[in-house]
Structure 1
Amino acid sequence: MNHGFARRVAALVLVSVGGAALPAAAQKAAAVTDTDRAMARAILEEAIATPTAKGRGQVPVLAEKFAKRLREAGFRDEDIQMLPVEIDGEKTVGLVVRYAGRNPAAKPIAFLGHMDVVDALKENWATDPYVPTEKDGYIYGRGSTDNKAGVTALVATFIRLKKAGFVPERDLLLAFSGDEETGMLTTRKLIEHPWVARAEYALNSDAGGGSVTADGKYDFNIQAAEKTNASFAISASNPGGHSSVPRPENAIYELADAIKKVQSVRFPVEFNEITRIMVTDLAAEKGGALGAALTTLLANPTDAAARAEVEKYPQYSNLLQTTCVGTMLQAGNAPNALPQNATLTVNCRIFPGTPVAAVQAKLVEAIGNDKIRFALIGEAVESPVSPVNPALFATLQRSVRKVYPGVELKPSMSSGGTDGREFRKRGIPTYGAGALPLRMPEDSRAHGTDERVPIAAYLRQLDYWDALLRDLGSRAK
């Protein structure tokens, strides 16, 4: 792809936004009302108050609360299905809801989110993490942004459209996982469901989204790729002995040598269809030495000086390459004994298309010590990039601009992981299509203390999802 690709995609999007007529069903949409917003807020607070962290057994409870509301809105029992999974003796579920369309032959669209949360330590919070609390224009509570703001807005939109009598041309599906934070086993079961397996593509409420500055400037993106997450245990061991008789063989020292070599590893700069657009835009936005270095790397990914300049900005350099970093250490068994074992945990965020085995091989080669052992911790999922989809991107752009006029959506790759990686692996293109802008960095609290969601921004999601589902649901191949 050449550097003009980003401009061509933008042009396609702008033409679609400016010139395409909306389907008749989408044009007849009634405005979101205060009653609708009150309903959505009630669903959000009910979800926050249901502690769906691993070990609490509450994901099935929340799924049934969603199902009850959907049934009351007119969804049939047969269109609401629970997919049970037992993990470490605990029962959890995935939830699939079918909004039946007129044309059963048309491929459906899946709308993703996860019902589970990372648990919270109450003593570290200013509020009870499982008691939704309004303060300073926010609702505080665990999962308020990750990802209960997304799933509840989708549930509320399904309810609102059903009550309004909207009938889509093709099936629209809710596909909510129950263990995204801990294993994604429910995610895999969702993908195997016959409704979801037929999806043309999936839109993920747990990705994409945006940010807003203090002066009201909005920035939104369409997440079309994610790095793979793989962790390795790198270990040294020997017989040990009494600390009063030191020997050259020492597991800690051997591992320390290996750690420094891991620190020095650099993976090659790479680009794909999505990151080339991102980096082209970033270079133009930042300008200066950083912009010049990014532009140089676009033309010559092996330029060492340009790479060194970009690596001064780790928040941007991680877009260009696989990264591996030591995150945990364990060593020794007593203060007066020579260490018998020493282990480093290395977490790698792997560029899409790079095999996990190739990453391990590069680390092994860099360390160059056959006494050092490597083991993959858990499993790693290799996931491709979703292709640029100008028609879909135009629809997403149009829907965002109904709520945030003038905002330009841009495709992106994230270094974190979501359910989307599993869908992409199974051949379902997946795009982060969240519509919740957060003020950064102060609202970036997912997995941390005092997680919160801005109330006004949460409620504005309803206008976005309503426009998007009407538009997409009124079209079918």
Structure 2
Amino acid sequence: MPSNLRHLAWGAALLAGAFTALPVAAQTSAEDKREARVLLEELISHRTAAGAGQVPVMVNGIVARLRQAGFAEDDIALVPVEKDGDKTVGLVVRLAGTDPEKKPIAILGHMDVVDALPANWQTDPYVPVERDGYIYGRGSVDNKAGISAVLATFMRLKREGYKPERTYLIAFSGDEETGMETTRALTTHPWVSQAAVALNTDAGSGSVADGKYNFSIQSAEKTFATFMLSATNSGGHSSAPRPDNAIYELAKALDRLSDLQFAVEFNEITRPMVAQLARDQGGELGRALETVLDDPGNAAARQVLDRYPEYTNILWTTCIPTMLSAGNAPNALPQNAVATINCRIFPGTSTQEVSRKISETIADPAIAITLDEEPVESPASPINEPLFAAITKAVHANYPGAEVMPSMSSGGTDGREFRRAGIPTYGAGSLALKRPDDNRAHGIDERVPIEAFYKELNFWDVLLRELDTVNL
């Protein structure tokens, strides 16, 4: 069977429940849950935002717990990084396997957070508080619930004397939110660089609505690239206006840029994802999605899709102005006008191609187009049926019959750096969040459902034991 048809067949089989597994008996006890919660609350209490210097402090506490659980010193490695005077650190932990022929699996997560404004919160963002079945605190979802569940699982397995055939590695970054310097360092660590695949806790959640559970296996991310559009002028006194005003020229360029459209694209990850979205949404959106699955260039369907950006941003590259800067005095003609253009680029599309498209759309050689920073082009990870089956089994241990689908994210995580380094990376987890009420990462009153967090302990226990038997 041709590969494109095979992947469509796989997607249809998965939707039909081909990987549905009987629930697995819980491996975690009330004491396990208590210990994991204590760990989660301890991690939340550290203000691991950029510049606060708390990531190394938090890691020291984690290492002490790992040593108490029985991890030897030579199974724990720190990856220190300093950038602009800010010291942070990555963490690698090895649960050593007995079969050297089996390549290791790395489990990713990030220990840093986006800082919070306490005045806007109902509670202190760095003092974990239980309320209405949730733990409130910055990082509770993004990403300290994920790393706490993995750490707790590793420590419990170590205390139990569990000896897997395959080596499992923790690879936690310290600056995912602000540059991913530790992430890039982790990909070159001698243990981590040998991984067959990586599992990303930061991309391992799902949703519950009207009693229906949906989970995704993030397998691709868009490239993040920022372009600067610049107009320059010799300026002068504001009392003597001239027609070639830098602000006017930039404004004209931005007006033309508003018409920029990129073509609909699909890959083996997004095609089944879009097919499911069409079934779930129905109506005009569902019909338009079904149309472009067969005819990506259909103009009438594209007009409909443009009205639903919250769903359709996975279908094409997007570029949008996000910041402006111009002039230096209220009584002087502007010498400079600069716009920041943030692009989220479909995997496989180069930044050079996007730059060319922007230039053609603006059609003004006087407007300079430059990259603000080096973009990170990250390929999609391939469909991995044995791995997807194992993840689905672990999800079903908590939520029998829940839909589990591959997905592509429009945002960015540590996964993009691991994919870029040649390590296929997939979101893994079963943290069920109520949408949209629980969508609070980076926002006010971030919170994690306590019972959903406890279920993550079972998810990781089932998944690690299952992957020990799988040929990847």
TM-score, with normalisation over the residues of structure 1? 0.95
2:312 corresponds to: 317
2:179 corresponds to: 183
User: Residue 459 of structure 1: CA displacement?
Assistant: 1.2
User: Residue 31 of structure 1: CA displacement?
Assistant: 2.8
1:64 maps onto 2:60 in alignment = yes
In structure 1, C-alpha distance between the alignment counterparts of 2:11 and 2:234, rounded to whole Å: 61
Match of 2:329 among 334, 355, 376: 334
Residues 196-215 of structure 1 aligned to structure 2 (within 5 Å):
196-213=192-209, 215=210
Residue 81 of structure 1 contacts residue 95 of structure 1 at CA under 8 Å; is this kept in 2?
yes
Residue 440 of structure 2 contacts residue 446 of structure 2 at CA under 8 Å; is this kept in 1?
yes
Residue 229 of structure 1 contacts residue 381 of structure 1 at CA under 8 Å; is this kept in 2?
yes
In structure 2, C-alpha distance between the alignment counterparts of 1:345 and 1:87, rounded to whole Å: 23
1:256 maps onto 2:251 in alignment = yes
Once structures 1 and 2 are overlaid, which stretch shifts more, 173-182 or 102-111? 102-111
1:467 maps onto 2:462 in alignment = yes
Residue 21 of structure 2 contacts residue 400 of structure 2 at CA under 8 Å; is this kept in 1?
no
2:128 corresponds to: 132
User: Residue 15 of structure 1: CA displacement?
Assistant: 4.5
1:380 corresponds to: 375
1:413 corresponds to: 408
1:431 corresponds to: 426
Residue 168 of structure 1 contacts residue 474 of structure 1 at CA under 8 Å; is this kept in 2?
no
* Cα 1:307–1:12 shift into 2, 3 Å: closer
What's the RMSD between the two structures over aligned residues? 1.7
Deviations 1:150-172 (A, max 9, x none): 00110001011111221111100
Match of 1:445 among 440, 444, 458: 440
1:148 corresponds to: 144
* Cα 1:203–1:405 shift into 2, 3 Å: same
Residues 8-157 of structure 1 aligned to structure 2 (within 5 Å):
8-11=10-13, 14-18=17-21, 31-157=27-153
1:245 corresponds to: 240
* Cα 1:269–1:83 shift into 2, 3 Å: same
1:343 corresponds to: 338
Deviations 1:309-352 (A, max 9, x none): 11111112211100000101111122222111111111000000
User: Residue 58 of structure 1: CA displacement?
Assistant: 1.0
Deviations 1:401-438 (A, max 9, x none): 01011102000001000000011111110001122111
Match of 1:265 among 256, 260, 268: 260
Q: Secondary structure at the match of 2:428?
A: strand
Letter paired with 2:375: A
Letter paired with 2:13: A
In structure 1, C-alpha distance between the alignment counterparts of 2:12 and 2:301, rounded to whole Å: 27
Deviations 1:424-473 (A, max 9, x none): 11111000112211111121111111111111111111111111111113
Name the count of aligned residue pairs: 469
User: Residue 368 of structure 1: CA displacement?
Assistant: 0.9
* Cα 1:133–1:387 shift into 2, 3 Å: same
* Cα 1:110–1:354 shift into 2, 3 Å: same
1:173 corresponds to: 169
User: Residue 5 of structure 1: CA displacement?
Assistant: 3.7
Structure 2: gaps (5+ residues): none
Residue 384 of structure 1 contacts residue 424 of structure 1 at CA under 8 Å; is this kept in 2?
yes
In structure 2, C-alpha distance between the alignment counterparts of 1:134 and 1:305, rounded to whole Å: 50
Structure 1: gaps (5+ residues): none
In structure 2, C-alpha distance between the alignment counterparts of 1:200 and 1:342, rounded to whole Å: 48
Letter paired with 2:130: E
* Cα 1:200–1:182 shift into 2, 3 Å: same
Q: Secondary structure at the match of 2:204?
A: strand
In structure 2, C-alpha distance between the alignment counterparts of 1:18 and 1:336, rounded to whole Å: 71
Letter paired with 2:235: G
1:305 maps onto 2:300 in alignment = yes
| Percent identity of paired positions between Structure 1 and Structure 2 | 59
In structure 1, C-alpha distance between the alignment counterparts of 2:222 and 2:19, rounded to whole Å: 30
In structure 2, C-alpha distance between the alignment counterparts of 1:207 and 1:454, rounded to whole Å: 17
In structure 2, C-alpha distance between the alignment counterparts of 1:181 and 1:46, rounded to whole Å: 20
1:285 corresponds to: 280
Residue 3 of structure 1 contacts residue 280 of structure 1 at CA under 8 Å; is this kept in 2?
no
Letter paired with 2:114: V
Deviations 1:214-247 (A, max 9, x none): x322111100000011111111110111111111
Residue 84 of structure 1 contacts residue 93 of structure 1 at CA under 8 Å; is this kept in 2?
yes
Residue 7 of structure 2 contacts residue 383 of structure 2 at CA under 8 Å; is this kept in 1?
no
Residues 394-413 of structure 1 aligned to structure 2 (within 5 Å):
394-413=389-408
In structure 2, C-alpha distance between the alignment counterparts of 1:9 and 1:373, rounded to whole Å: 44
User: Residue 287 of structure 1: CA displacement?
Assistant: 2.3
Letter paired with 1:344: A
1:162 corresponds to: 158
1:6 corresponds to: 8
Letter paired with 1:203: L
In structure 2, C-alpha distance between the alignment counterparts of 1:37 and 1:16, rounded to whole Å: 28
Residue 60 of structure 1 contacts residue 92 of structure 1 at CA under 8 Å; is this kept in 2?
yes
Q: Secondary structure at the match of 1:202?
A: strand
In structure 1, C-alpha distance between the alignment counterparts of 2:114 and 2:27, rounded to whole Å: 35
Letter paired with 2:380: V
Deviations 1:154-192 (A, max 9, x none): 000101111122111110000000110011111111110
Residue 199 of structure 2 contacts residue 428 of structure 2 at CA under 8 Å; is this kept in 1?
yes
User: Residue 139 of structure 1: CA displacement?
Assistant: 1.0
TM-score, with normalisation over the residues of structure 2? 0.96
Q: Secondary structure at the match of 1:330?
A: strand
1:225 corresponds to: 220
